[in-house]
Amino acid sequence: MRAFVAVAEARSVSRAAHELHLTQPAVSRRVQRLEAALGAVLCDRRRRPLTLTAAGRAALERCRRVLHAVRDVRSATGGDDPLAREIRVGVAHALTEVTLTEPVDGLRRAFPRVSLSLGTGWSHDLLERVRAGALDAAVILLPDGERLPAGLDATRLGHERLVVVEPRRGPRGARGTGLAALDGRGWVLNPEGCAARALLQRALHGAGVRLRVAVETYTYDLQLALVARHRGLGLVPARILARSPLRARLRVRRVRGLDFPLTIWAVRRETTLDLVPVFRALDRALIERLSGRGRVQ
């Protein structure tokens, strides 16, 4: 069931295998065994990205509840210490380049009986996984003003400022500062599912400009390298550009109408009261890291 849920949420066997620290054949075999036990096909393997069948969609939420119940049983039978358990934390793709080594090490020192499992995903997907009990907590990015669902405990960790970047040298294309000057320009962006990409597409569409994606990749370092090689414009967090070894080859392009203030949130289910000290400690460490007060690893 854990393998099936991971595949369903990642919509990819390879990404699920990475999250579960298994090989792709091992994940496939586990999903196939579950399908054999249930007598139903759960995944439509003919489509890309992978999708669930009607039986798979019906099974997904029930499997999440079973896995959550198993974790509750383990927590309840962990002896006198309620913190002798594993907690699963999701981190938004856009925040994976925040160095987590020091916060995680500090958490392990303060709570030695807590086992921390980290995974990545898109912010709205992670939010849904917290609501469903598939994750204990998540660190996500949401547009300023977007309301969080009821039933979640949330801490505002900081703000994210996105900037449009282009090569410092070479042809600049249209020199206007409005959205129309971006018509025909290619972009180097995160894949579909990224909230910032969706906001960019909405803003361009409102100005009658088509979004033309030249390259899709999850890694900001690679995105900046491709922008520096004139493969397209980039949309990256200002903190990533500031610490990039390529920043001397890049410049920020000011564009009227592209203003995407984002808030970084830590969210968790309100039912995990025994874990409040753990999450509060993690919140403090992440606030220090995001504000630049934490040491660079």
> At 203, which CATH number?
3.40.190.10
Smallest Cα–Cα separation from 290: which of 240, 250, 217?
A: 240
Q: Give the domain extent around 19.
A: 1-77
Domain boundary among 20, 49, 77: 77
Smallest Cα–Cα separation from 55: which of 37, 30, 70?
A: 37
**Same-domain check for residues 56 and 177:** no
**Same-domain check for residues 97 and 40:** no
Indicate whether 63 belongs to any domain: yes
Q: Are 200 and 128 in contact, with CB atoms under 8 Å apart?
A: no
Count: domains in the chain: 3
CA-CA-CA-CA torsion sign (9, 10, 12, 17): negative
Reported as a pLDDT band with limits 50, 70 and 90, residue 75 is low
Domain boundary among 77, 108, 134: 77
Smallest Cα–Cα separation from 9: which of 173, 155, 169, 126?
A: 126
CATH number of the domain that 11 lies in? 1.10.10.10
Smallest Cα–Cα separation from 269: which of 57, 65, 11, 5?
A: 65
Say whether pLDDT at 33 is over 60: yes
Smallest Cα–Cα separation from 94: which of 228, 234, 245, 218?
A: 218
**Token pair listed for 168:** 């410092």
**Same-domain check for residues 148 and 279:** yes
Indicate whether 89 belongs to any domain: yes
**Same-domain check for residues 149 and 277:** yes
* pLDDT at site 239: 84
Of 63-67, 145-149, 172-176, 179-183, which has the strongest mean pLDDT? 179-183
C-alpha distances out from residue 44 to 88, 103, 165, Å = 27, 39, 39
Neighbours of 77 (CB within 10 A): 9
**Same-domain check for residues 275 and 198:** no
Say whether pLDDT at 84 is over 80: no
Indicate whether 259 belongs to any domain: no
**Same-domain check for residues 270 and 126:** yes
Q: What is the mean pLDDT of residues 133-142?
A: 86
**Same-domain check for residues 243 and 169:** yes
Task: Convert the pLDDT of each residue in 87-125 to its tens digit.
Answer: 888 888 878 766 666 777 788 888 887 888 888 888 888
**Same-domain check for residues 134 and 196:** no
**Same-domain check for residues 137 and 189:** no
Task: Specify the pTM.
Answer: 0.69
3 state DSSP class of 211: coil
**Same-domain check for residues 284 and 149:** yes
